[in-house]
Structure 1
Amino acid sequence: MKLDLERSLASMKTQLTAYCAKKSIENPIVVGIHTGGVWVAEQLMSAVMTDEPLATLDITFYRDDFTRAGLNPKVNQTLLPALEDRHVILVDDVLMSGRTIRAAMNEIFDFGRPASITLAILYDLGQHELPIQADIVGERLTLNPDQRVKLSGPEPLMVSVLEAH
């Protein structure tokens, strides 16, 4: 399976611009989830009318499998401005079960109560375990059980579908 990363990102930018106009969202805070979500968010910043720098979120300590998985050896920094009554655009690379997004929203609410959260996802795999749906989707994919999407970057930003062995 060959994925067209540029086409998916262009689709997200078009959708995001239209979504913000329709919802009258001005000067939102764009939040990328480490690490792939940050890379995608960097690509989307040009489509969003905002004075805010890109915010970043590391959900390691908010995961519901933290006690089972143990400490992630690479914990990134969470950099969020005041979120109270602000519109947040939450960005990640892949939506699978929805658990990463749930963890991200839990962390966001620890920083304040946003006016809204818009979810922008590069690839939605449709394997949701929680009732979480993206507002902006670059591409919906159906993968075989032994396949997974791998985003690598940030320079160059590339995507591949890997086969588990």
Structure 2
Amino acid sequence: MSNFQIRSIILFVCYCFINVNGGAIQLTSTNIDTILSSYDIVFINFYANWCRFSQMLDPIYNELADKIAKEYPQQNLIAIGKVDCDSDNAIATKYHVNKYPTLKLFRHGIMTKREYRGARQVDAFFDFIRKQIESSITKISTPSDLITLDLKKRYIVGHFDDENSENYKTFS
């Protein structure tokens, strides 16, 4: 093979895996499991093309995907995906989707208990996702740090000598 042919093949393969149009990743029965297992956080819009509200959400959701890609370029951290439930009804059934649009969050491939019910705006989506990737660990160094805790919330307490320990990583 010539050098030109090899470069052409490499370019073609790269083109196939890049979302050149930007926006949300179109998820299908062939790629959804790979995407869910490859990213820490996956936010999915389950939609139907005939649904007026799904049509209204589509450009907003694509804008969110572009903003997330720009703000969080880390590989495999966050994916913004969408599923056409008319053409991939098995996915809708698997994830108990029966109304459109439905927005669900997946963390490490596991669907969270509640679907997204907040505002349907780019900034609201962005804030929601940003909160999902924040550390949920509150470090307490002194007894006075306990005063700042919200007493209405529940806490799990762990004591670790080192933040690099396996126990700490499992806890976090």
Task: Please indicate, yes or no, whether the TM-score normalized by the shorter chain is above 0.5.
Answer: no
Q: Calculate the TM-score normalised by the size of structure 2.
A: 0.23
- Whose radius of gyration is greater, 1 or 2? 2
Please state which structure has a larger fraction of its residues in helix. Answer: 2
